[in-house]
């Protein structure tokens, strides 16, 4: 297997199994003492932006991938950001401004309003031995409704990345039908 680097030369975290993150997710969940979370955005049908979460805030540098990247790289990016859950300091949340929202600044959007209007959001979280995915437009007509899937945390990276693509496609169909 060739060595993988994310854009910007960032190397993924080492894995016990090269195409799975099950052991690492279990260990990270135990370290955190709670379920892991990450956020993913598809912006303008061109870029995937994957961000770690600490508390209720998206933190750290997001992984930015072109939509043409393979599913296994997308799934690996998601797992890497799940593994970063709770590992960043947030400071005083009252000091945060929209320019501190790293996925917005990395997207290339001119304004946060433009970003939100053109983005689909996927909430990623673990629950026991599962990875839960929920996809919807960032600005949703019905914020309580979404396209969702539950995968085993033992799913390979390719399956995770493929599931995200299918969920976003499903969310687009629901949006076009004005359900979400």
Residue 1 confidence (pLDDT): 40
Contact 123, 85 (CB under 8 A): no
Beta bridge partners of 135: 122, 147
The predicted model scores a pTM of 0.90
∠ CA 81-85-88, nearest 5°, is 105
Residue 89 confidence (pLDDT): 67
Q: Give pLDDT tens digits along the chain (180 positions).
A: 445 556 566 677 788 888 999 999 999 999 999 999 999 999 999 999 999 998 888 888 899 999 999 999 999 999 999 999 976 666 665 666 666 678 999 999 999 999 999 999 999 999 999 999 999 999 998 889 999 999 999 999 999 999 999 999 999 999 999 988
Residue 2 confidence (pLDDT): 47
Q: Hey, what are 69's tokens? A: 């990247």
Residue 18 confidence (pLDDT): 82
Burial readout 136-156 (b: 16 or more C-beta within 10 A, e: otherwise): bbeebeeeeebbebebebbbb
Contact 79, 21 (CB under 8 A): yes
């Amino acid at each position: 297997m060739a060595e993988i680097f994310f854009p910007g030369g960032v190397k993924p975290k080492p894995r016990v199994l090269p195409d799975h993150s099950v052991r690492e997710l279990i260990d990270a969940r135990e370290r955190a003492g709670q379920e892991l979370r990450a956020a993913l955005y598809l912006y303008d049908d061109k870029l995937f932006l994957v961000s770690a979460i600490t508390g209720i805030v998206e933190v750290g540098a997001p992984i930015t991938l072109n939509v043409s990247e393979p599913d296994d790289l997308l799934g690996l990016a998601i797992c890497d950001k799940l593994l970063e859950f709770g590992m960043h300091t947030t400071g005083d949340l009252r000091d945060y401004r929209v320019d501190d929202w790293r996925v917005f600044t990395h997207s290339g959007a001119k304004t946060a309003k433009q970003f939100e209007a053109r983005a689909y959001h996927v909430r990623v979280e673990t629950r026991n031995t599962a990875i839960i995915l929920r996809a919807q437009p960032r600005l949703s007509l019905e914020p309580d409704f979404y396209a969702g899937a539950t995968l085993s945390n033992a799913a390979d990276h390719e399956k995770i990345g493929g599931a995200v693509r299918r969920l976003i496609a499903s969310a687009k169909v629901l949006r076009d039908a004005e359900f979400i």
